[in-house]
Amino acid sequence: MERRTYLVTAGIGASSLLAGCLSDDPSDTESDSAGSDGDDETDPDGDESGTESEPDPGPVIETYLEAAQAENPDAMAEVVHSASPLQGLLTDPEWEFESSGSVDLDALETEVVTADGSIADVRELEGAEFWFAESDLEAEIGDEEITLVRAELDGEESTGETGVYALVTEDDEWKVFWVGSEDEISENPEETFEAEIIDTDDDVVERIEWDVDAVDAPEGSDFETGDYARVHLTDSPGLEADLIRTESTVAGAEFEFYGEDEDEPSTSWAGTWANVQLDPAGDQIVVTAVRGDTETVVHREQYEPSD
């Protein structure tokens, strides 16, 4: 049996959508922990954008992340806009939600970066070009208020990761519509690349497919291939690990495969795969085996766009 996974990364919740497929795992369980709904509040210092005052966007983002940490997709769906593709993922029984970690949300800092947002602002966010290529956003949310909010963790909880949330009103309440990360990407990605390491013995990595679809496209759709790599892990591992991490160094996408027991090394990750988003200008896939406090890069391969 195969189960797909929608992963929200630790920290501010930038989404690695449709990340991978975990195969033949009989230990599927669902958390029934409940998240709480955030109440709309008013920010007396907020900028005006066609309303008397701007509601505080912090509660809806915090509620979303609290539910993510509780691995409760139903609670997350309650604060996600009905027109958002996230809604379909969170409510589809074929998808399982997993949180890759937890942080102290008391350290969450939010800042409105675009109070009076537009459809164009949403489309510019990471991943939006692919997901909304076939969507008529003007018809779906064009009459609603849109705001873009930067969220990050402060102090010791900081991960250096910043999320940009597109919040859209629905029935006069702010809802999460899309989440992207905010990274400063070099104009010359090759400058950040390290020497390639190829897993020639297939100890961990069997192969990498480049320019794959990020998701199984619905029948009759016109989805085009995106800037993603599919990392296939070997069926016959040459080592044990607590977890296997796959990441793209420029786009900043990441996916982790844990063993059956996080405290015991294993090869239960064998035969799995993950989709990892790539920067279209060039990127590098890095696969790391983690065992205890030791991290070993077992595969590092460069992505060169075909065009």
**Using one digit for the tens of pLDDT, what is the confidence trace for 48-85?**
444 444 557 778 988 888 888 787 888 989 999 999 98
Is residue 38 helix, strand or coil? coil
Is residue 120 helix, strand or coil? helix
Calculate mean pLDDT across residues 239-256.
Answer: 86
CA-based nearest residue to 151, from 105, 101, 115: 105
Query: What distance in Å separates the CA atoms of residue 268 and residue 262, rounded to the nearest whole number?
Result: 11
Residue 182, pLDDT score: 55
Highest mean pLDDT among 65-69, 220-224, 235-239, 289-293: 235-239
* d(C-alpha 54, C-alpha 116), whole Å: 10
Do residues 63 and 74 make contact, with C-beta atoms less than 8 angstroms apart?
no
Q: Which residue type sits at 144?
A: E
- The pTM of the full predicted model, rounded to 2 decimals, is 0.54
Q: Which residue type, as a one-letter code, is found at position 280? A: P
Mean per-residue pLDDT over the chain, rounded: 74
pLDDT value, residue 263: 61
Domains parsed from the chain with CATH numbers: 42-181 (3.10.450), 187-303 (2.60.40.10)
Query: Is pLDDT above 70 for 33?
Result: no
- pLDDT band for 19, please (50, 70, 90 cuts): very low
Report d(CA 307, CA 304) in Å as an integer: 9
- Angle value at C-alpha 256, between 9 and 103, nearest 5 degrees: 35
